[in-house]
Amino acid sequence: MQSREHLVLGIESSCDETAAAIVAGGRRILSSVVASQVEIHRKYGGVVPELASREHLRQIVPVVREAVEQAGVELREVDAIAVTRGPGLIGSLLVGVTYGKVLALALGKPLVAVNHLEGHVHAVLLEAHAVGRQPQLPALCLIVSGGHTVLYRVTTEAANGAETFSYARLGGTRDDAAGEAYDKVAKLLALGYPGGPVMDRLAAHGNGRAVPFREPKMRGNPYDFSFSGIKTAVLYYLRRNPQLQPEIATRQQALDRGERSPDALRALSSSATLDLIASFQRTVVDDLAARTLAAAEEHATRAVFVSGGVAANSELRRTFESAAPLRGMKVYFPSRALSTDNAAMIAAAGHARFLSGERADATLNAEANLPLA
């Protein structure tokens, strides 16, 4: 390891993943451990905040220990501790923030507070560096997950050898996040939780033009999103098509037996259902890509970042990858593992703040609605 490379321990607990990671020099991931709670929340079809905080409490110590062990370092070699301060579920955030503060105090290490959304931006940079790409900032960043759908313009400035990032919010969802819409539609169709990964696989077998959903029309800011309308449109479609109910009941029975693989669920889905899923996905993906690329065009950014759980979607990736070059833009995604919540992205974001001299102290508090800009 080069001596100028600082080691940052990242801690993330904003939603339903307890995560810790060690990142060297803000770029090199030495370890990234994620304990997912998806099995716990699955039977409720969404994250139950009380259960989430209890599970974070159980997991935080072993997850941090595992990250340190996997990195092959000692805790005392770490140069700084970066922790997600918000936004997220307050009870969940508090576990990470409290543990980060205690650890920093006990080890005598600097503590850096990180905004979770800034972490998602850095997930893109981590992956770009890993594959030897150099995104040209300013960039337009779409963060699209189960909790967020938001557009930022990201700029960078070098000062005293440190790179600082700043963010301007251009728009965001007025109701549901895109991932939330996936999860709610998956619930209506009995496709399990979380809905995105299964729907992504099933959509490939349907016709995305079969059901003509209307693209959301936004009054005012064209860079705002709305996904509650399409979820309701799916509900009405199912009411108008009661012949789809028996297969929904059959899939629910399969899920109850623990049969949740995309192949098993596909075998229990008619072509009408596959068309419905494909059309939902086509509408959501087209809307995300159209608004993001229009914002990038207006703001004359040549780099487009797409991050968050929904950035793992194959059609979303294909759509951006074919549309961006036509407008002279380059698109950057995190690897799939870095798309969903993780602590490597928190360590990377924390590294930049650490270098620019930012420090948090014992008064640091979790903030459920912490804005990035």
Comparing CB distances to Zn ion, the nearer of 116 and 353 is 116
Least distance in Å: CB of 242 to ligand KG4? 27
> Using the rule CB under 5 A, which residue among 177, 341, 345, 351 binds Zn ion?
341
- The DSSP symbol for 299 reads T
Q: What mask of x and - would describe binding to Zn ion in positions 169 to 188, judged by CB under 5 A? A: --------------------
Spell out the alpha helix ranges (H) of the chain: 38-42, 49-71, 90-107, 116-130, 178-188, 195-203, 228-240, 245-256, 262-267, 271-298, 314-326, 336-339, 344-355
AA identity, residue 234:
V
Rg over CA atoms, the chain = 21
Q: Could you say which of ligand KG4, Zn ion, none residue 313 binds, taking C-beta under 5 to 8 angstroms by partner kind? A: ligand KG4
Q: Judged by CB under 6 A, does residue 138 bind ligand KG4?
A: no
Comparing CB distances to ligand KG4, the nearer of 145 and 319 is 145
Cα angle 259, 264, 269 (rounded to 5 degrees) comes to 120
Helices 195-203 and 314-326: angle between axes, nearest 10 degrees? 70
Q: Are strands 303-307 and 139-144 parallel, antiparallel or unpaired?
A: parallel
Q: On the CB side of 292, how many CA atoms lie within 13 Å of its CA?
A: 35
Q: What mask of x and - would describe binding to ligand KG4 in positions 319 to 358, judged by CB under 6 A? A: ---------------------xx-----------------
Least distance in Å: CB of 111 to ligand KG4? 23
DSSP per position, 76-89: GG--EEEEEEESS-
In angstroms, the CA 229 to CA 371 distance is 25
Helices 228-240 and 178-188: angle between axes, nearest 10 degrees? 20
Q: Judged by CB under 5 A, does residue 92 bind Zn ion?
A: no
Please identify, among the stretches 124-132, 289-297, 308-316, 349-357, the one whose residues bind ligand KG4 according to the rule CB under 6 A: 308-316
Q: Could you say which of Zn ion, ligand KG4, none residue 277 binds, taking C-beta under 5 to 8 angstroms by partner kind? A: none
Count of residues that bind ligand KG4 according to CB under 6 A:
19
Q: Which residues share a beta bridge with 326?
A: none
Q: What mask of x and - would describe binding to ligand KG4 in positions 161 to 190, judged by CB under 6 A? A: ------------------x--xx-------
Least distance in Å: CB of 345 to Zn ion? 9
Of 227-266, which residues contact ligand KG4 (CB under 6 A)? none
Q: Determine the 3-state secondary structure of 202 from DSSP.
A: helix
In angstroms, the CA 48 to CA 209 distance is 35
Least distance in Å: CB of 355 to ligand KG4? 26
> Using the rule CB under 6 A, which residue among 200, 224, 287, 358 binds ligand KG4?
200
Please give the backbone phi and psi of residue 287, each rounded to the nearest 5 degrees, phi first.
-65, -45
Comparing CB distances to Zn ion, the nearer of 86 and 262 is 86
Comparing CB distances to ligand KG4, the nearer of 301 and 313 is 313
Least distance in Å: CB of 176 to ligand KG4? 10
Of 134, 170, 148, residue with least CA distance to 296: 170
Q: What mask of x and - would describe binding to ligand KG4 in positions 144 to 163, judged by CB under 6 A? A: -xxx----------------
Q: Judged by CB under 5 A, does residue 145 bind Zn ion?
A: yes
In angstroms, the CA 191 to CA 269 distance is 10
Task: Give the interface with ligand KG4 as residue ranges (CB under 6 A).
Answer: 15, 145-147, 179, 182-183, 194-197, 200, 308-310, 312-313, 340-341
Task: Give the interface with Zn ion as residue ranges (CB under 5 A).
Answer: 145, 341
